[in-house]
C-alpha cells in the first residue's frame, strides 16, 4: 500500500473513506439496523465480524455453541473443552475490496484451556482523489487484533473464562492502538441434558484517538457488546444429530438483534446449516455446509447482503491434534 503526505483535510477524507468501506464490509449482521440518533456507532468494526464460516452460516448464534479454539472469538469459557491442540482458521471475501482473516490455536495448560488468536481486516489499494475528483494516488488500511484467552471449570456444569487483546487500526499513514478485555460463562444443567446457557461480554476497553496535524480527533470507541442465549443438542436416529441456538446481542451504539441458528449433521461427517438474524438490515440470513473427518473440519458459508453491496463467501478449516 502506498502512503502519501496528507493535509489535515486529506487525512480526514481518508479516514472517512476507509471507515465507510469497513462499515460496508460488516457481513452477516456485523451491524444491526441504524442506531438511534443519540448513539454514536463505534469503531474497530472488524471485531463484530462473526468468527468462522460455521458461525456465519448459523446467523451468529454461536456463543453458546463455540468450544475449543473457536471459543477464542466467541466466549472464552468454551476453551475449557479444548482437548490436545486445536487450531481454526478462516478467510472471508467481503465488500469494497476488503478481506478478513482469523486464526486461533488452543491447548491445555495447568488444567485450563488457553488460546492465542489473531484477526485482521485489510484492504486492497483504494483510490485517492483530490477535491475535484482527480486521481492523485492510492492508500490502504488494516485492523489487527492479537489476543490471549483462558477458560476453566469453576463448578459442576459451570465454566468461566476471560481474554485480553491488543488492537491496532491503520488508515494510510495514520495509526492508533488500544487494548480490550472479554469475559464469559456457560452453564450446562445436569437436569436438562443437551442444554447450554451462555453469557459473554466482548471488547471492554478504552477508546482510541487519531492524531491529525497535532490535534486529537474524535474518540474511536470500541464495539463493546454483550451476547447471551441458549443452545440445545439432540441425538437423532440413524447417526444424525441436531444443534439449535437462540441468542441475542446488544452492542454499543447499535440496536439490539436476535439470532437463530441450526445445524443438522450426519454420521458420515456432512452437515448443513441455516441461520436468521432479526432486526438486522444488513443481512437477515446465512446458509452453509461442512464436512468433518476424524481430526479436521471444513466449513463454508454464504451470506447475502440486504443492502445491495454484494454477497459474501467464507471458508474455515479447523483441526485437532
Give Cα 310 to chain centroid, integer Å.
Answer: 19
Q: What is the reported pLDDT for 304?
A: 84
HSE-up of residue 100 (Cα within 13 Å, Cβ side): 30
State yes or no: pLDDT of 10 exceeds 70: no
pLDDT digits (tens, 9 = 90+) for 96-140: 667 889 999 999 999 999 999 999 988 776 666 667 777 766 666
Q: Which pLDDT band, with edges at 50, 70 and 90, does 183 fall under?
A: very high
Where does the pLDDT of residue 167 fall: very low under 50, low under 70, confident under 90, or very high at 90 and above? very high
Q: Convert the pLDDT of each residue in 141-155 to its tens digit.
A: 778 999 999 999 999
- Domains, the chain, ranges and CATH? 8-320 (2.40.160.60)
pLDDT score, position 241: 95
Tell me what pLDDT residue 131 has. Answer: 76
% of the chain with per-residue pLDDT over 70: 81
**Cross-strand pairs, 308:** none
**CA nearest neighbour of 53 among 321, 292, 274, 314:** 314
This prediction's pTM: 0.82
Assign 265 a pLDDT band (cuts: 50, 70, 90): very high
Pick from 269, 262, 319, 256: which is nearest to 285 by CA? 262
Interatomic CA distance for residues 78 and 84, integer angstroms: 14
Place of cell 446458509: 287
Amino acid at each position: 500500500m502506498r502512503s502519501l503526505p496528507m493535509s489535515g483535510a486529506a487525512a480526514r477524507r481518508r479516514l472517512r473513506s476507509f471507515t465507510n468501506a469497513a462499515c460496508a464490509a460488516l457481513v452477516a449482521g456485523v451491524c444491526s439496523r441504524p442506531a438511534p440518533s443519540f448513539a454514536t456507532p463505534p469503531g474497530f468494526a472488524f471485531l463484530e465480524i462473526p468468527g468462522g464460516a460455521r458461525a456465519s452460516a448459523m446467523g451468529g448464534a454461536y456463543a453458546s455453541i463455540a468450544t475449543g479454539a473457536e471459543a477464542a472469538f466467541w466466549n472464552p469459557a468454551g476453551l475449557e473443552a479444548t482437548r490436545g491442540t486445536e487450531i481454526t482458521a478462516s478467510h472471508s471475501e467481503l465488500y469494497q475490496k476488503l478481506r478478513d482473516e482469523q486464526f486461533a490455536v488452543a491447548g491445555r495448560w495447568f488444567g485450563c484451556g488457553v488460546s492465542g488468536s489473531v484477526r485482521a481486516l485489510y484492504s486492497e489499494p483504494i483510490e485517492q482523489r483530490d477535491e475535484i475528483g482527480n486521481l492523485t494516488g492510492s492508500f490502504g488500511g488494516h485492523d489487527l487484533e492479537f489476543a490471549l484467552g483462558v477458560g476453566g471449570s469453576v463448578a459442576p456444569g459451570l465454566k468461566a473464562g476471560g481474554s485480553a487483546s491488543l488492537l491496532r487500526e491503520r488508515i494510510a499513514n495514520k495509526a492508533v492502538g488500544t487494548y480490550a478485555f472479554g469475559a464469559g460463562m456457560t452453564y450446562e444443567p445436569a437436569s436438562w441434558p443437551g442444554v447450554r446457557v451462555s453469557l459473554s461480554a466482548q471488547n471492554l476497553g478504552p477508546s482510541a484517538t487519531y492524531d491529525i496535524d497535532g490535534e486529537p480527533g474524535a474518540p474511536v470507541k470500541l464495539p463493546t457488546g454483550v451476547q447471551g442465549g441458549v443452545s440445545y443438542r439432540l441425538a437423532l436416529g440413524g447417526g444424525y444429530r441436531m444443534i439449535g441456538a437462540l441468542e441475542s446481542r446488544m452492542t454499543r451504539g447499535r440496536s439490539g438483534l436476535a439470532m437463530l441458528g441450526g445445524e443438522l449433521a450426519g454420521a458420515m461427517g456432512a452437515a448443513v446449516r441455516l441461520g436468521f438474524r432479526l432486526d438486522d438490515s444488513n443481512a437477515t440470513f446465512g446458509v452453509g455446509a461442512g464436512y468433518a473427518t476424524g481430526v479436521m473440519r471444513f466449513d463454508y458459508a454464504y451470506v447475502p447482503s440486504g443492502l445491495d453491496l454484494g454477497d459474501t463467501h467464507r471458508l474455515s478449516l479447523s483441526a485437532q491434534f
